[in-house]
Amino acid sequence: MPGNQHEELIVRHGGNPILTAAQWPYPVNTVFNAGATRLPDGTTLLLCRVEERSGISHLCAARSADGVSGWVIDPQPTLAPDPERYPEELWGIEDPRITWAPELNHYVVAYTSYSRGGPGVSLALTQDFRTFERYGVVMPPEDKDAALLPRRIGGHWALVHRPVTTWRGAHIWISYSPDLRHWGSHHLILAAREGAWWDANKIGLSPPPIETPEGWLLLYHGVRQTAAGCLYRLGLALFDLEVPERCLLRGDGWIFAPEESYERHGDVANVVFPCGYTVGPDGDRLHLYYGCADTCIGLATASIGHLLDWLRRNGKPDCASRR
């Protein structure tokens, strides 16, 4: 392919952005970084991060029959910070990732709870996105970008997350738990690269891992720091289904990056940040919901088969790409 032509694996919806603050039934600053799921009746539910004009975020559900338009937005916050009972939510709750866990007959929402301690990972369980049972902080600060795998692995629940240390960058880890409350067996599963790489120094899980016959497909974001600010882009990696700490393949180049004006301009420029997806009835069509420049919500589609095919052609075992 000549010049700047690249395989377009992730295709933006022509009507983007599909959700903006202007559609909200109450005054807000911005809406972005939404978790997503398809409810049993086929409705697409987005659990949106809503930033108020205080800077504090809460979560608000938006429902649509076709996942594109006709959004019915809750008339008030669906899950608001509750710092009286959960002090870790003092400065708000952000960036939810939703996992349907059949064994629990509940959705498990992993979100960032933000307070004086820094951002940490909290869990809440729900069946209807109207009432929630909070489990509190499961990964203390600084940690975020977490999602639960939908089933136990070797008898334990698995949480992918992104702790930050002062030691050379922020990498993706996995931890295991018998009960969603007590976590251990921590493993680093994907490290940020170094130097000029697009995913140098800081990476994190984007939406929840996608289960495929070939492994857990992980869309992850890389944060490139430049003189003009940060650039958030997306890459792909594949992990073993039964030993998810084993990385099978990792792509070198990014596959999605801010290009459109609504991704390049906003409260935080140059950010594409998917926190959720739904899968079409064919089991292959991915509807990816992503925050654009921390200001609005976009939709893009991809084929899981094409993503896997790209990884087969462009990916390497991770040990080879660690440079």
**Which residues of this chain interact with ligand BMA, rule CB under 6 A?**
33, 94-95, 268, 271, 273, 291, 294
| Closer by beta carbon to ligand BMA, 245 or else 263 | 263
| Closer by beta carbon to ligand BMA, 204 or else 244 | 204
Beta carbon of residue 169, minimum distance to ligand BMA (angstroms, whole number): 14
Report the number of secondary-structure helices (H) and strands (E) in the chain. 3, 22
| Closer by beta carbon to ligand BMA, 263 or else 294 | 294
Beta carbon of residue 114, minimum distance to ligand BMA (angstroms, whole number): 9
Amino acid at 208: P
| Closer by beta carbon to ligand BMA, 114 or else 176 | 114
Rounded distance, CA 268 to CA 275, Å? Answer: 17
Beta carbon of residue 312, minimum distance to ligand BMA (angstroms, whole number): 30
CB 139 within 8 A of CB 160: no
Q: Which residues are paired to 156 by β-bridges?
A: 153
**DSSP state letter for 257:** -
CB 291 within 8 A of CB 32: yes
CB 160 within 8 A of CB 174: yes
Residue number of the CB atom closest to ligand BMA = 268
Output the CA torsion 293→114→99→232 (10° steps). 30
Rounded distance, CA 15 to CA 35, Å? Answer: 19
Beta carbon of residue 249, minimum distance to ligand BMA (angstroms, whole number): 26
Beta carbon of residue 162, minimum distance to ligand BMA (angstroms, whole number): 9
| Closer by beta carbon to ligand BMA, 30 or else 175 | 30
Beta carbon of residue 142, minimum distance to ligand BMA (angstroms, whole number): 10
| Closer by beta carbon to ligand BMA, 239 or else 273 | 273
Beta carbon of residue 234, minimum distance to ligand BMA (angstroms, whole number): 13
| Closer by beta carbon to ligand BMA, 48 or else 248 | 48
- Burial string for 171-205 (b: 16+ CB within 10 Å, else e) reads bbbbbbbeebeebeeeeebbbbbeeebbbbbbbbb
Rg (CA), the chain: 18
